C-alpha cells in the first residue's frame, strides 16, 4: 500500500492511509488476529457474515423493486434542514 505525501503534509497522508486501510479491511483483520479463533468459531462467524450480506442484498433488491420503503435519510450535521 502506498500513499504520496504532498507539500510535507503528513497529517493528510496519514488520513488517506487510514482510509485505504479501512477500505481494505486491514483493521478488522488485525483485530481478528489478536487472539486465536477456533475453526468452528471461524466457520460460524463466516456463515453469520454471509447470512448478513445475503439479507442486506435481498433488502436492497426489495427496496429497488418498491416492495419495501426506502430508508429515511439522516440529516447531515451542521447543515440546515431542507425546506419543502
DSSP characters over 33-78: TTS---HHHHHHHHHHHHHHHHHHHHHHHHHHTTSSPPPPPPPPTT
pLDDT for 36 equals 94
| Domain extent listing, the chain | 1-35, 37-69
Which residues in the chain come in under a pLDDT of 50? none
- C-alpha separations of 54 from 5, 27, 48, 63, 67 in Å: 39, 23, 10, 14, 17
pLDDT for 31 equals 92
Check: pTM over 0.75? Answer yes or no: no
> What is the share, in percent, of the chain residues with pLDDT greater than 90?
74
Amino acid at each position: 500500500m502506498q500513499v504520496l505525501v504532498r507539500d510535507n503534509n503528513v497529517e493528510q497522508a496519514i488520513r488517506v492511509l487510514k482510509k485505504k486501510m479501512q477500505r481494505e479491511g486491514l483493521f478488522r483483520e488485525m483485530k481478528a488476529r489478536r487472539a486465536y479463533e477456533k475453526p468452528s468459531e471461524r466457520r460460524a462467524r463466516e456463515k453469520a457474515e454471509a447470512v448478513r450480506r445475503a439479507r442486506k442484498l435481498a433488502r436492497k433488491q426489495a427496496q429497488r423493486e418498491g416492495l419495501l420503503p426506502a430508508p429515511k435519510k439522516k440529516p447531515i450535521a451542521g447543515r440546515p434542514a431542507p425546506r419543502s
